[in-house]
Amino acid sequence: MNPTSRKIIIFSFLGVGIAILIGFGTMALWRSADTAGPYEQAKSAARAAGIPMSVEEARPQPPINPGDNAAPLLKPVLNKLELERKSSARLQELMEAGNYELALKECEELFALLEGAKPGLAKTRLDFDRDYSRGVDVKFPELASMKALTQITVHRARIAKAQNDHAKAIEYLKLGHKLESLHRDEYTIIGFLVTHSLHRITNRGYRQVAVASEGQVEQLEALLASFDPPEQPSIERAIKTDSLLAQSTIEREFQIGRGGTFNQIRTGQRGLTLLLQETVKDVESLRRSGNDVISATEEMDARSEKVEASLIPDPGIVLFTIIRPLFGGLGLAQVQSQADQVVTRAYIQILIHKAKTQRWPRNLQEVGITEADPFNGKPLNYRTDVSGMRIWSIGADRDDDDGQFLDEIKARNRPSPTSLEEKGDIVAIYPPPK
């Protein structure tokens, strides 16, 4: 091979190599712009919307004094309770049998531990770094225990009212409301839903004690005065908190900023970009909705479904569908809780009127009940008959079922099945159903 041919071949190989390097460089730059660019933009937009991007950004301001942190104070108590084994089922069985003395003895040890936690019950804030750094592993068992503890206080209230110790029953119910407020400031979505289940437990307790106090004006008025519904937790705060937990999970699993491979980082950044973009839209939906949190959460779920239904086989979208927090039921839970509280308060007011006048009020205006049904903004529904009275909210399906529970509707429809959309009304009845 002559020297000229050799030079041509060498230069040809060099040219091809340079072209390949330029091609890879261009592709890398393009890919980098395709991931990092939108990701950085999504981070900026999220920060502007107040969505935390780090534990530091999520920590309440001003910082919480460690001595004012409720969760660590309660943890030693919660860890000893063995609630699944010893509480609700056994107490329920004893109370239904009318064996109140044995029921009290059965939960004496549990309640002694709860009494020991009283010094911490006034502490109402949580430190994000300490109580969320381990995420759901730390948080969710506590919430389940809080629910069980609240149930125990309501059991104790029922025992007290069965023994005609209404002052003690009211004290226990107030303690139940205090327990509800402990996790008010830093909410995950699961925490949000558990809190509303606690509301329902104590609302039922208040109605039970009200029935036991029939005709006793002072006791009923004391019960109404003690009924101080806890603040509604913030859906927006729950969404932001869960967004941060999801971000942390993606960054850890895909080793973003920790030496992950190109494909790992690209997939993770795509998932993070979608997560942040949708979280910003969620916050915007809530702010636009005003008080209509049901429609806001329906809008969130619809957008999530649209992203998840994408035909593009993008690993980032797959990651997004796996990690995105589930918002369904948040708005519904909040409005149900509000409606239950409004109905409970009105129920006690009506029983006070009956105790004073020896008759049911002709309408709610006669009692001075002005709170509207949170589901439609209209007055609560109320009726009396020879057997007693009913007061109700139209409930989650926003359809007035004439003051019937879902179980009553199902019994009426048998043997035909009841529609899955049917939820029944939120009802308080006197005398209560057996």
CB 267 within 8 A of CB 254: yes
Residue 242 is predicted with a pLDDT of 84
Higher per-residue confidence, 287 vs 263: 287
CB 280 within 8 A of CB 49: yes
CB atoms within 10 A of CB 33: 10
Residue 158 is predicted with a pLDDT of 83
Place of tokens 């992950």: 260
CB 95 within 8 A of CB 212: no
Higher per-residue confidence, 84 vs 56: 56
- The half-sphere exposure of 69 on its side-chain side, counting CA atoms within 13 A, is 18
What does pTM read for this prediction? 0.73
Give 325's contacts (C-beta < 8 A, 6+ positions apart): 189, 239, 242, 243, 245, 246
Give 224's contacts (C-beta < 8 A, 6+ positions apart): 345, 348, 349, 352
Q: What are the two backbone dihedrals, phi and then psi, of residue 61, each rounded to the nearest 5 degrees?
A: -120, 135
CB atoms within 10 A of CB 344: 25
List, for residues 26-83, the tens digit of each pLDDT value: 444 444 444 568 888 998 999 999 888 877 777 666 665 655 555 555 555 555 545 4
Q: DSSP string covering 80-104, please? A: H--HHHHSHHHHHHHHHTT-HHHHH
Measuring CA to CA, how many Å separate 346 from each of 170, 227, 361, 374, 424?
Answer: 17, 11, 12, 14, 19
- How many angstroms separate the CA atoms of 302 and 221, rounded? 46
List, for residues 273-304, the tens digit of each pLDDT value: 999 999 999 999 998 988 788 888 888 888 88
Per-residue pLDDT for 256 more than 80? no
pLDDT, average across residues 180-190: 60
- How many angstroms separate the CA atoms of 131 and 245, rounded? 12
Token digits for 235?
């859906």
List, for residues 318-377, the tens digit of each pLDDT value: 888 878 887 877 888 888 889 999 999 999 999 999 999 999 999 999 999 999 999 989
Of 197, 163, 166, which Cα lies nearest the Cα of 180? 197
List, for residues 198-233, the tens digit of each pLDDT value: 888 889 889 988 998 888 999 999 999 988 777 777
Per-residue pLDDT for 234 more than 90? no
- How many angstroms separate the CA atoms of 28 and 30, rounded? 5
Token digits for 391?
């007061």
Per-residue pLDDT for 94 more than 90? no
